A and B are shown apart, each in its own frame.
Chain A
Amino acid sequence: MFDVDNDIIHSNLSSVVFRSPPGEPDAIDITEDDVDPLVDGGHLSDGIVDFYSLVLLGPDMGVSSNIATFTSLFATLLMQNRAFTLASLASQASSSFEREFWVMAVVRHRHWCLAIVVRPNELANCVIKLAT
């Protein structure tokens, strides 16, 4: 928790280099703290990975309707502040739980991995079978 608070304070102090997509309410702020390690050969930050995920996706390329994608911040909040994230997830379209795949980039202790949940839409049936 101490580290998280420090990160938030540090992030707030760092100046924004650019916003992407510009003018959008949910734009990603890329700060000096994100850019410096990128240029210096250090670890990639949440902001950089989420930003470049959007670049790779392209403005005209949609995500298949059977895939739900989440930002890396989602996984971080899920692990650190579950009540908040669960509430925000509940307020999202419940269709996330009806997709065939969930894809999320996860960073822990400055190490990246990719988590893919396969067939979360079948989980209810599976749990009911186990319960009976």
Chain B
Amino acid sequence: MNNTPFWVILDPKRGGNDYRGLKKALGDCMMYRLHEKIETLDKAVLCSLVGKALTLRHVRVPQQSDSSRCGLFVLGLRTAFIHGDDETRRLLCALTSLTKKSSVWTGFMSTLPTRKDVITACDKVRRQGLKDNSNKGKSTSSDGQAKRTVVGMVEAAAAA
């Protein structure tokens, strides 16, 4: 069984994107961790070895009609990966730019969240927050009313 580590960028846009900065940052992150385990190796050497060991596969997925949909695409893909079974994850990790027109993508595209879904979710949480705040307000005002009533009773008793 091949246990070689690698990383894959699923990129919903064609051409021209440079991931060297991300690769360097991720490599540094891994290097720091490995240095705790392999102290005999110099950090610079370790960094170079991590770069060689952790190969990058850049997968350009079908062009989105609207570039602002890239976020929705990533949301859907992330969910499919996390919620999917081992077979789904294996499929997603095995994707290449050549699988552009495969049924994998066609099936996946139909499950993407829409902008309206996100707006609805935002509105739901916002309304719930307002409702909670309103209930807190009611609770506070009734507490205040109770306190005022108690104070009024004490004052009335004192006057008598």
A residues near B (Cβ < 8 Å) are: 17-20, 22, 30, 35, 38-39, 41-44, 48-49, 51-53, 55-57, 61, 63-64, 67, 69, 75, 78-79, 82, 85-86, 89-90, 94, 97, 101-103, 105-108, 111-128, 130-131
Q: With both chains docked as a complex, state the minimum distance between the C-beta of A92 and any C-beta of chain B, in angstroms.
A: 11
Residue of B nearest to A30 (CB): B122
Which of B21-29, B99-107, B145-153 lies on the face that meets chain A? B21-29
Residues of chain B lying within 8 A (CB to CB) of residue A61: 83
Interface residue ranges of B2-28 to A (CB < 8 Å):
3-13, 17, 21-22, 25-26, 28
Instruction: Find A115's partner among B8, B50, B113 (CB 8 Å cutoff).
Output: B8
Interfacial chain B residues near A127, Cβ < 8 Å: 34, 38, 41, 46, 49-50, 53
B81 near A116: Cβ-Cβ < 8 Å: yes
- Does A112 contact B28, Cβ atoms closer than 8 Å? no
- B128 touching A117, Cβ below 8 Å: no
Task: Given A97-B33, A120-B5, A122-B3, answer yes or no on A43-B79 (Cβ-Cβ < 8 Å).
Answer: no
Nearest chain A CB to B85 CB, angstrom units: 9
Residues of B within 8 A of A (CB): 3-13, 17, 21-22, 25-26, 28-30, 32-34, 37-38, 41, 45-46, 49-50, 52-54, 66-68, 70-75, 77-79, 81-83, 89, 92-93, 113, 115, 117-119, 121-122, 125-126, 128-129, 132
Q: Which residues of B contact A112 (CB under 8 A)?
A: 12, 70-71, 73-74
B143 to chain A, nearest CB (A): 19
Chain A residues in 8 Å Cβ range of B29: 78, 82, 85-86, 89
